[in-house]
Amino acid sequence: EAQVTQNPRYLITVTGKKLTVTCSQNMNHEYMSWYRQDPGLGLRQIYYSMNVEVTDKGDVPEGYKVSRKEKRNFPLILESPSPNQTSLYFCASSFRHSTDTQYFGPGTRLTVL
Amino acid sequence: KQEVTQIPAALSVPEGENLVLNCSFTDSAIYNLQWFRQDPGKGLTSLLLIQSSQREQTSGRLNASLDKSSGRSTLYIAASQPGDSATYLCAVRPKDSGGYQKVTFGTGTKLQVIP
């Protein structure tokens, strides 16, 4: 089954404790992206990747890191999480960046205490 | 900077009614526009994707139109059903001269279809 998977689905952590949210797609997509969703602010793009080893900042990259060492995986790293990073996070992928449908993962609900 | 607006923020209609959801964007230089639905606590499900060269796309009871010159897209839902209750989001992929490939989402319209 074609899908985007994220892990974990739910995470409660404390300020400053490094964490990684994994994202994997099995559709051989080139473009992958991370979003956060907050009430009243909608979905905002954090980082995106056009292909392996090619990443760039979205609208809200502060406090986040990403890497794209393999085509299928695009982990989101929070080196020192803070409470303002409490949010619902989505990973998405598409075959091409400009023309193709984005497929979304199920989301990761992160709470930073 | 591209801005995407969806009005109204919430809509409640009786079952069976036809309805239109609106999406406006400020910069007409886009690759495409995509409509999604999101159920509470769930991820996003793609409904329709309209390329910049297209005027509309249809899938079942859904029809999406795109007017780039006026910066508008509409999602038409025919014969609404309670199962259509969800938040509907539109997203644009801009052609940015700076080379960025950022996607901009609207804040959504929360639809409730009353049986």
Q: How far is CA B72 from CA A22, B11, B57, B112, in A?
A: 35, 19, 14, 23
pLDDT given for residue A38 in this prediction: 93
CB pair distance less than 8 Å for A100 and B93: no
pLDDT given for residue A96 in this prediction: 78
- Per-residue b or e along A45-82, where b marks 16 or more CB atoms closer than 10 Å to that residue's CB: bbbbbbeeeebeebbbbeebebbbeebbebbbebeebe
pLDDT digits (tens, 9 = 90+) for B33-64: 999 999 987 889 999 999 999 999 999 999 99
pLDDT given for residue B114 in this prediction: 97
pLDDT at B97 over 90: no
Confidence of residue B1 (pLDDT cuts 50, 70, 90): confident
**Do residues B35 and B90 touch, judged by C-beta distance below 8 A?**
yes
What residue of B is the nearest CA neighbor of A107? B43
pLDDT given for residue B100 in this prediction: 53
- Optimal mutation site among A3, A31, A43, A60, interface B, most CBs of chain B within 10 A: A43
Interface of B with A in 46-105 (CB under 8 A): 46, 49, 51, 89, 91, 93, 100-105
pLDDT at B101 over 70: no
pLDDT at B98 over 60: no
Please state the rounded mean pLDDT for residues A50-67.
94
pLDDT at B66 over 70: yes
Q: How far does the CA of residue A1 sit from the closest CA of chain B (Å)?
A: 15
Q: Which residues of B touch A30 (CB under 8 A)?
A: none
What residue of A is the nearest CA neighbor of B44? A104
